[in-house]
Structure 1
């Protein structure tokens, strides 16, 4: 159902964050996640271990925008390609893959996403936030990126898989970077 009065980005409410990225090696970053009791699933481990997951020596700051698929004018949901294309048209950028662990380390007060919300197969979990980043490999068996979640009080940095046909729900949350001006 389409609502004529519904506001879309940039005229809708969003959550912005300033996140400092860089300064750690890959092993230091993983150790920092462990020190903060952040759990990583198998797909997250696979992303972190890949040679294309590169960490930056120099610290820099990114301004991120969290919004829903519906905020991008997809009231019935959309595929990853459609979401990324629309975000780009609206002046948003994909995040570096490296942002995932740094954002997880900064966003320690993420609300619980599990209570009372049953897990639905092949859907983003309730309360999760997917980080929109460049996809490393077209292989559907390789993780496409990271998402953040709090499950029963435990913070997670999780990798996810989704093929080109997967339709994200209008209420699914994504994080993009704002275009530098």
Structure 2
């Protein structure tokens, strides 16, 4: 359901970041994550180590926008396809998959938001921010992308599984790219 009476993007407050991406080989990128004490779950490791995860040798700066599913106009939640289509209609783009590790290393002051619920149903984990990116494969057993989270004061870059029927909660947070600024 599309919200008519609540503020949606671009008429709402959003977090905008400039993220430098690229310029490192995959082993260098993994080493930098380790230097920053970034933890990975098994899906995050699977994504990073997959041959389809391509890193750019060219450094570029991307402007990202962080917003909720609700701020995209979905008060009852939406599928990934619906979110990406709506974001595209609003002038936002999916991020390159490699943005996840770079954003994680640059966003070190992510707040920790704890939840007492062990199972949160179809809601992403509390305090997490999902990077909106095209899946590397349609295989539902392979991670669809990355999300960022701080747990017990430890920074995480985590991969996640979701099928096409998954409904994201109105409070789930996503990062989209606004536009490519320049190549450095």
Question: Same fold per TM (> 0.5)?
Answer: yes
- Shift in Å at residue 23 of structure 1? 1.2
Matched, 1:50 2:46: no
Distance 1:152 1:57 in 2: 34
| Deviations 1:13-43 (CA, angstroms, capped at 9, x unpaired) | 1000000111111011111111111100000
Give ranges in structure 1 of 5+ residues lacking alignment: none
| Deviations 1:95-138 (CA, angstroms, capped at 9, x unpaired) | 00010000000000000022545442443101000000011111
> 2:106 aligns to what?
106
Q: 1:16 to 1:117 in 2, by over 3 A?
A: farther
Distance 1:117 1:20 in 2: 35
Matched, 1:169 2:169: yes
User: Given the two structures, how large is their TM-score scaled by the length of structure 1?
Assistant: 0.95
Distance 1:142 1:133 in 2: 14
Aligned length: 181
> 1:139 aligns to what?
139
Q: CA RMSD in A?
A: 1.6
User: Given the two structures, how large is their TM-score scaled by the length of structure 2?
Assistant: 0.93
- Runs of 4+ displaced beyond 2 Å: 1-5, 113-119
Q: 1:2 to 1:143 in 2, by over 3 A?
A: closer
The range that moved more, 48-57 or 62-71, is: 48-57
| Deviations 1:19-72 (CA, angstroms, capped at 9, x unpaired) | 011111101111111111110000000100111111111111000000000001
